[in-house]
Chains A and B, each alone.
Chain A
Amino acid sequence: MAASSRRTVITGVGVLSPIGLDAATFWRSLREGRSGVRPIRAFDASALPVRFAGEIPEFTDAKNYVEKSQRKSLRMMARTIQLAVAAAQCAMNDGAVDKSKLVPERFGVEFGAGLIATELPELADAARVSTNCQPGRVDLEKWGSDGLEVIQPLWMLKYLPNMLACHVSILHDARGPNNSLTEGDAAGLLAMGEAYRILTRDQADFFLAGGAESKINPLSLVRQCLFEQLSRRNDAPEKACRPFDRNRDGLVLGEGAGVFALEELEHARKRGARIYAEVVGFGSAFSPELQGDGLARAVRSAMNEAGIGPEEVDHVNAHGLATKASDEWEAQNLQSVFGGSNTPVVAVKSSIGNLGAAGGPTELAASVLGLHHGLAPATLNYEEPDPACPVAVTAGAPRPATRPYVVKVSFTQMGQCGALVFRKWSSQ
C-alpha cells in the first residue's frame, strides 16, 4: 500500500446544536458547562414516557442560510435536510471559502444520515380517506383511487436520506464524489473517514462532510421509546444524560448538524485558509452486539495510521451513549488501549444528547474547537464513577489541552465502530 503524500486538514466547522446555532456559541456553551437538554417544545409530548430532548427550537428553516434564489428548494426538504444545508453553509462561511476558486469536479460531499420520519399531516388526507378510522387497516383500493392523488408529488424526495448530500451538492455546485452513509450513530463519523480517504487518493481536493438528524417529532419519538433505552429523568432533563456515571439510566435524544470543510493541505495553503487541525488516522471495525474488541481495533488501526501511541493523545472524545451496557463495553475497549496512559475521556452527549448521524461530527467539533482554543471539553453529569466503566472522565471545567492528538469514536449498538484521529494544527 503506497503512502500518499496528500494530507487532509480541517478548515471550516459548521455546527447547529441544542447549545448553539454556530460554532462559536457551541464552544462557549461547552466551556461554560451549559446543557441543551430541556422539556420538548416542538409538539405536545405529554403522552410520552420521555418528554425531554436536546432541541433547537430557534431553528425553523434554513432560509437564512441559502441565497434568495435557492429558497424555493427548501420546501422540498425535511427538517433534517434543512439542518444539513444550514450547517454546510456555516462550514463554508467559517472556512472563508471562495466558491469561485473551487473546481466543482474536485469538490465532494459526504453525509451521515438516518431514517427521516414523514411529517404526519402530509399523509393525513390520504390516510383518512382510506382507513375509515378503523384501527390497523387501510383500504388499499381507496388509497390507490382517492388517497394517492392528495399526496404532494414530490413527497418522497423530502425524506430520502441521500437528499442531505444531494441538496448540499446542488447548492454549492459540488460535482465530485458524493455519498450518504446510513450507519446509525456511526454514520457521521464514518462519512468523515470516507471523505478523508477520497481526499487521500486524489479524487477530490475539498469536501463538505458531516451529518444531520432530527428525531424530535411524534413518530420518531414513539419509535425510540419502543425500542431504545431512553433516560426517564423527566424531572431533571439537564441531569439526564450521564455518560459513564454510576447513576445513568439511558440515552437522551437530540437534534442537530455538524459539517466540516475538509481540504487537501496544499489546496488549503494556496488559498490562505485558516487550518484548525489535520486528520491523521481513521479506522473502522465490527464487534457483534457489543461483545468483543471492535472499538479497540478501530482505534488502534486509526492510531497506527497516525503513527502515534496513547501517550500522545490529549483526550478520547467518546461515544458516551449513557446506557448501562453501551458505556460499560465502550469503557472496557477504551481501557484496553488507553488504560496504561490514563488518557482523559470526554463525552459531549452529556451536553446535547445523542444526535444520531450528526453525533460523531458534532461531538468531534467540540474537540476541534476546544483544541483550537487550547482546551479540552469537559463532561456534564459525571458525579459518581462507575467501577464497571474504568475510564478517566474529565468532569467539571474544561482543562488545558496538553497534547496535540485527539481520538474520536462513534459506534452503533449493533457493533459498527469508527475511530478518527486528528492533530491540532501548528504552522510548520
Chain B
Amino acid sequence: MKMRRRIVITGMGAITPLGQSVDAMFDAQLEGRSGVAPISHFNARRFPTQIAAQASDFDLGRFIADPVRWKYTGLNSQFAAAAGQQALVHAGLLDLDAARVDRNRFGVYLGCGEGIQDFHNLMSLIARSYVVEERRVDAPTFVRDGLRELHARQEAEQELHTTPGHLAAHFGLWGPNFNCLTACAASSQAIGEAAEIIRHGDADLMLAGGTHSMIHPIGVTGFNRLTALSTRNDPPQKASRPFDLNRDGFVLGEGSGMLVLEELEHAKRRGAVIHAELTGYGSTADAFAVTDSHPEGRGAIACIAAALKDAHINPSDIGYINAHGTSTKVNDRVETLAIKEVFGEAAYRTPVSSSKSMLGHLIAAAGAVELITCVEALRRGALPPTINYETPDPECDLDYVPNTAREKRARHALSNSFGFGGQNISLVVSRFEE
C-alpha cells in the first residue's frame, strides 16, 4: 500500500437550526428534537411551503468580537464566520503565531451558498421597468432606478467568492483558497477536495466546510416551483420524514459546518487533539438529468463504492451511515437502492439515519454539518435517529434508527451527499487509530 499523508479532524464548529455549537446540535439530535417551525425570516403565509428549520436568534457579535467585516454580508457569510471561529478555537488555532503554525500552509475550501438577493428592491425594479404590451424590460428605466436603489456594498458581497475570502483574511489563512457550489453536495465536496490538497502536499491544514441560507422569498419560490419542498405545514415538526412512506419533499434548513482538517504528523507535532480521521472520499456524476437522480442510483453506487475503496475498508466495516436522506420520494428510494447494491446483505445490518429529519436540508452546508454529526456519533458512541418514521415504505426497508437514538460504538461512518444536477459525494470518517 503506497504511503499517503493521513488527514485528521482537529476542530469543528457549527451553526444550525438545532443549536449554535457542535455539542448543542448533536445533543438535540440525540434527543430527537426537530428544528422545523413556521418561517419567521419573511412572511411566508401564502407560500405553498410555510415552514423551515431556521438558525434563529443568530448574532455574529456573540462569536466574533468586532464583526465589521461582515456588515453588508448575508446570513450565509455570517454563519460561516461563526462556525469557522468555533472550529479554529476548538483546534487551538485562533492564534497561528502562538501555535507556531505556518499560515502559508493553512488554506480554506468551502462549499458556500450564494448570498442573499435584495429581493424587494429587485422585484420592484423589474415591475417598474416592465413594458407589459411588449413583454420586455425597458433597460434604461431599470438601469437608472437600479443604480439609485441597489446598495453597492450589499451587491458586492453577493459575489460567490466573498465568503472564503473574508474567512481567509480575518483568520489569516494564506494557503490554497477554493470555493465550490455543487448544490447539496458542495460542502462534502469541499471537505473531500480539501483533504486531497493536504494529501498532495499543497497545505498542512485546511479550514473546510460549507454554509447556506436559502430561507428567503426567492429560495423558497425556486424550490416550490420545482415541487421539491414538503408542503406539510402543520405540524411543522413532522414534515421532514426521510424514508417514511408519506414523505413529500424536503424542508429547508440553514447554517454552517466547519472543520479543521490537518495532516496527521503536523497534528501530532503540535499536540493537537484528534477527533477523527477522514479516511475516504468518493466523487461521481449521474450524468443523467438536471431534475432527477438516476433512477437506479448508478452515480450514488459508484460514489459510495469509491469512498469505501479510498478508505480501504469493506462495506461491513461501516458501523453507521448518515444518509443524504432528504425526505423526497425519489432520493430516499434511490439512496436505499444504492446502499443495498454496494453493501449487499450487510445493508440490513448497518444503521442508516438522516439528520435532515431534524435539521432540515442545509443545502450547500448539509454535507459539512452531517459529517460533523458522524464524527460526534463515532466519538460519543451514539447514533442520532431518523425522526417522524411512522409508516415504513416497502421500497425503503433498511434500519433507519427510527425515532430514538441508539448507543453504538462504530469504528467507521459513511456520509452521503447527492447534489441537484447529479454530483455525488461520499465521505468516510473513522475513529483515529495509529
Contacts and interface: CB of A to CB of B under 8 A. Distances in A.
Partners in one complex: yes
Given A105-B302, A124-B130, A161-B160, A227 B155 contact: yes
A298 to B, nearest CB: 8
B414 interface: no
Interface stretch (A60-68, A183-191, A247-255, A263-271): A183-191
A123 B202 CA distance: 44
A226 B152 contact: yes
B94 interface: no
Interface string A11-50: 0000000000000000000000000000000011111110
A166 B421 contact: yes
B130 A121 contact: yes
Nearest to A413: B165
Interface centre among B130, B149, B183, B287, by most chain A C-beta atoms within 10 angstroms, is: B287
Given A47-B140, A170-B422, A144 B44 contact: yes
B421 A175 contact: no
A184 B160 contact: yes
A135 interface: yes
- How many B residues touch the partner, as a band? 35 or more
Contact of A170 (B46, B174, B189, B288): B288
Given A184-B160, A285-B176, A179 B44 contact: no
Interface string A291-328: 01010010001000000000000000000000000000
B63 interface: no
A290 to B, nearest CB: 11
Contacts of A180: 180-182, 423
A223 interface: yes
B285 A46 contact: no
Contacts of A351: none
Interface residues of A, number: 101
A286 B175 contact: yes
B68 interface: no
Nearest to A131: B127
B174 A292 contact: yes
Contacts of A162: 181-183, 419-421, 423
Interface string A118-131: 00110110111011
Interface stretch (B30-38, B104-112, B269-277): B104-112
3 nearest A-B residue pairs (beta carbon):
A144-B46, A156-B222, A414-B165
Interface of B: 2-5, 42-48, 104, 107-108, 112, 114, 119-124, 126-130, 132, 135-147, 149-153, 155-156, 158-162, 164-166, 168-169, 172-183, 189, 193, 196-197, 199-202, 217, 221-227, 283-291, 298-299, 302, 306, 419-423
13 contacts: A115-B158, A115-B159, A137-B124, A145-B46, A157-B420, A162-B420, A178-B285, A180-B423, A182-B179, A222-B147, A286-B169, A414-B162, A414-B165
